[in-house]
Amino acid sequence: MSIVSKLRSPVKPIDESRAILCSTGNRFKVTKTEMTKKPQLNPRVTKSPATKKPDSNFSVSTDDSSSSSSSSERSSVNTTNSGKVTTPSKRNGVEKLNNVVASVAVVEDISPKIPGPVKRCHWITPNSDPIYVLFHDEEWGVPVRDDKKLFELLVFSQALAEFSWPSILRRRDDFRKLFEEFDPSAIAEFTEKRLMSLRVNGCLVLSEQKLRAIVENAKSVLKVKQEFGSFSNYCWRFVNHKPLRNGYRYGRQVPVKSPKAEYISKDMMQRGFRCVGPTVMYSFLQASGIVNDHLTACFRYQECNVETERETKSHETETKLDLHSPLLV
């Protein structure tokens, strides 16, 4: 006899039942011999327990009677040697979990909903000046197309080199009074003597360099209006008359200048504007709503987008009406 035949052992049939994974749980494969030995149950029990009542041989606890799943009932039933079938007194873990989830849902439904604090941009803190918070909530990032308002924001952006936003906003009424409500045609007529009289509490409202720049910029605005029809058309043409939405999530992502601001700065300098560097121009773009730099978590981000769409549609309608209006001879 060869070595291979000696090593081989005859394959014996396996009489033990093996667990088979079915769609309704684990089942045991029963041979014909075991089926003959197993006592027969009441014919009513062999049918689906969901449609027929169980036989008197079943002792089912009240906790398990609410289960409608046939698979859970079959897996929880134990068959004894005497033919009686009983169910364990322990609750099904799935039912326990469902009961806990249901009770938590009820508690959440009856509990009052307390609104959380309003989320704003990172530069607004609980200690911020109320006038600064109001400026953020109502003005900053809102599209502006009025020439006087745009010129006012340009002056304020230039003043940021000497003051902070809260300080400028507290002096806004003084600025408007001294600069003739920021009318470029009136400011362009300011003389040196008039400039030196622009004081608050005995001090110049801005440095002499900034004051002279404001007068020169007012003259440049008048020239731009002759070429483009308005200072607003000149500013908004750089973004095709539609605000830019950056959608920053974190404050550290918001830049102090951008390539667009650098391009606008160079164009304005060529037209005679002064003190309009890229940083100044980017602050101007943010304040005038030409750029929406509200953080995406800030409640004003979506509101400014809605206001922008409404304002853009209104502006486009007005533009179409102007194009189709008859020319006066």
| Residues flagged as binding site for Zn(2+) | 121, 136, 294, 298
Answer yes or no: are the C-beta atoms of 141 and 304 closer than 8 Å. Answer: yes
Answer yes or no: are the C-beta atoms of 289 and 243 closer than 8 Å. Answer: yes
Residue 194 sits at φ, ψ, to 5 deg, of -65, -35
Answer yes or no: are the C-beta atoms of 215 and 195 closer than 8 Å. Answer: yes
Give the C-alpha distances (Å, rounded to integers) separating 33 from 7, 38, 81, 147, 201: 32, 9, 16, 99, 111
Question: What is the C-alpha R_g of the chain?
Answer: 41
Pairing of strands 203-204, 199-200: antiparallel
Give the C-alpha distances (Å, rounded to integers) separating 31 from 37, 38, 128, 146: 10, 11, 82, 92
Displacement of CA 136 from its chain's centroid (Å)? 18
Give the C-alpha distances (Å, rounded to integers) separating 181 from 134, 155, 199: 21, 12, 16
The runs of H, that is alpha helices, within the chain are 3-7, 32-37, 43-46, 70-76, 93-110, 130-138, 147-159, 165-170, 172-178, 184-187, 192-196, 208-228, 231-236, 259-270, 278-287, 299-324
Feature table: binding site: 121, 136, 294, 298
